[in-house]
Amino acid sequence: MLLGAVLSACAPTTRVILLPQANGTPSAVAVSTARGEQVIDQPYQVANVGARGALSVDTTTAEKVREAYPRLITLQPPPPERFVLEFELATPQLTPESQAQLDHVVARAKARPGGEIVVTGHTDRQGPLEANDALSLERAQAIREQLIERGLRAELIEAVGRGEREPLVPTDDEVAEPRNRRAVIDVR
């Protein structure tokens, strides 16, 4: 998760600190003013914007950030949770094992502040591209409906389909791969 703290107070400087992502993936922030742009792309890099828009880059430490901004650190949202459910061949029907996981997904979603959910449907490479696009969306929408039926708020759940474009297991065309017939549920 990209975590940046934009801090400006009575001091003549605005400070942007790039915090590390919880999962360790790289991130970056571009800080722009009328006088230029500076990209910070390392954890604990700091972009300072002076009173006249001058940019400078420094580095700090986790300890210094915790000491200087304890309240901001405690306000960070928890990292997203991800769940993967699998489907029967060529249908929007969950496998029995995945169907059994839905109540756990709902419980975790209800336990989080905000509770925004994105359901992304996927297919294997069996069948035409257009049909797989439609099936992946149908799968995501079916999961969305089941989450709503279990008490989650409809306006917080987005359903999208990716077809066969993002396989978990790369295969040749027309190969049935059960692990690619899935929905990824991201709970933020």
Give the model confidence (pLDDT) of 15-71 as tens digits.
999 999 877 788 899 999 988 899 999 999 999 998 888 899 999 999 999 999 999
State how beta strands 14-19 and 45-49 pair: antiparallel
Which H/E stretch holds residue 141? Answer: helix 129-149
pTM as predicted: 0.71
* C-alpha dist (Å) from residue 118 to 4, 25, 40, 159, 186: 23, 20, 28, 6, 5
Cβ contact 18:43 at 8 Å: yes
Q: What is the CATH number of domain 81-187?
A: 3.30.1330.60
Q: What sign for the dihedral angle of Cα 162, 165, 169, 174?
A: positive
Instruction: Cite the residue boundaries of each domain of the chain with CATH code 3.30.1330.60.
Output: 81-187
Phi and psi at 91, nearest 5°, equal: -140, 165
